[in-house]
Amino acid sequence: MPLIAPSILAADFANLQRDVEMLNRSAADYIHVDIMDGRFVPNISFGLPVCAAVKRHAEKPLDVHLMIVEPDKYLEDFRKAGADIITVHFETCPNLHRTLQHIKELGALASVAINPHTPVVFLSEVLGDVFQVLIMSVNPGFGGQNFIENTYRKVRELVELRADAGVSFDIEVDGGVNGQNAQLLVDAGADVLVAGSFVFNSADPLAIISGLKNNLSS
């Protein structure tokens, strides 16, 4: 049974408290918070004040995904704003091991993300240092994009790397997750599914989350 992390990037920002409280009632495991700076990705989402506001109402752990340049400058701030899991991008961290250690020193769970063009083998030196690896299955920056089919292969490769290294971490997939590809991702070895538009654009988000959580066999 996979873990489900609905992304509030697709929520109604004018009714964010309402949507967070809906997620509290749902079968979701995490609340995924996408932070975008308009530099690393071509979009701006929201920052520390919104993260802190979500935390005030959230009863699920905040899975905070930093799609920003120089994330080291903001790790402590996002931890104080309520981040339970902090994901940084391989592509933005010249001293990735140091960054991951800092996240853990702050008391958060350390996670690293890779863009669609980045091979998973590039993470081989830090696999023992992470709680989670996030594979982007769309080019980061906007919600509602089409899923990149090559993601299945990358998940399988990461499963093999994890076994070869003899370490344990969750494999999270973010981008374009829906009812057509969710089971295929779990079959490939994904442990955590991030779903945004598929959840929040549906007529019954609670039912969609429950279906993802309970109807997929791992």
pLDDT at 40: 93
pLDDT along the chain (218 residues), means of 10: 95 96 98 95 92 98 97 98 98 97 98 97 97 94 78 98 97 94 96 96 96 80
Class in CATH terms, 3-214: alpha beta
Over residues 152-165, the pLDDT tens digits come to 999 999 999 999 99
What is the residue extent of each domain of the chain?
3-214
Please report which helix (H) or strand (E) contains residue 57, including its range.
helix 48-57
Both tokens of 121, joined, read 């083998």
Indicate which residue of 34, 129, 170, 191 is catalytic. Answer: 34
Q: How many Å from the N-terminal Cα to the C-terminal Cα in the chain? A: 5
Catalytic site includes residue 174: yes
186 to each of 1, 54, 155, 156, 160, how far by Cα in Å?
8, 28, 9, 10, 15
pLDDT at 20: 98
Indicate which residue of 19, 29, 37, 174 is catalytic. Answer: 174
Would you say 206 and 212 are in contact if contact means Cβ atoms under 8 Å apart? no
Catalytic site includes residue 34: yes
